[in-house]
Amino acid sequence: MKKVLSIAGSDCSGGAGIQADLKTFSAHGVFGMSVIVSIVAENTSRVIDIQDVTPDMIQKQIDAVFEDIEVDAVKIGMLSTPHCMKAVAEKLRQYKARNIVIDPVMYAKNGCPLMNPNAVDTLIKVVIPCADVLTPNIPEAEKISGMTISSMEDMEAAAKRIYEMGCRNVIVKGGHAIGNAIDVLYDGKQFYHYETYRINTKNTHGTGCTFSSAITSNLALGLPIPQAVEQAKQYVTTAIKHALSIGKGNGPTHHFYDLYRNGLQKSDVL
């Protein structure tokens, strides 16, 4: 059993954050663990409030996991403040964590900010160099790279610029573009394009969390990065296609569509 850790915020409505990560891990057959960095009072329509966990408590949660359990991969989501970012990066270095996938979450699906604007510089200098894979969407990639993205060529140029900040691979996600959903992976040598048709639905709450967690799961299972991304793209596309109309706003993706469709495997043991 591969063990995967999520370091992220908690979404009480269950569609994004730690909750989406754990569902995705389970759907991929890996054992999920969590370090909560922020409590987010949110639902499908709005973010009501955020309460950050202290950096000391964040580090103690990380200690609790790593001192006892071998961690095969780490997914990092919402890191709201510079102090939080530094605390996490310090522990990743201490424990020599591997297969680190970082989703630089800046905004909730409804546009509410989840990262302190003053933390972007720390994100670039302290967090991004820890990433084996960084997964910004177009608005996040624009913020990190300092450039406007309006074409495929811009996505590639931004990926190159972000790669030079120290991450080993970067995926600029095309969910915010027009037309087919095309994600661009750059590994420092070549580009990979992952294209699917765009699904007409408003129920996309937690898609970024789900995609990055799927990549993390696949890396823990031993897949090379291009294949890990390809399979994660297929998984999240299916989850979006069968998204759930829960709540009054942007409903969540369906993390367990295959399980709901096929049911639990029957056992001979009664």
Give the residue numbers annotated as catalytic, written as ranges. 173, 204, 206-209
Other Cβ atoms closer than 10 A to 51: 11
Across the chain, the runs of DSSP E, i.e. the strands, are 3-11, 31-42, 47-52, 73-76, 100-102, 133-134, 170-172, 181-186, 191-196
Residue count (the chain): 270
Other Cβ atoms closer than 10 A to 152: 16
How distant, in Å, are the alpha carbons of 92, 203, 233, 267 from that of 128? 12, 29, 22, 45
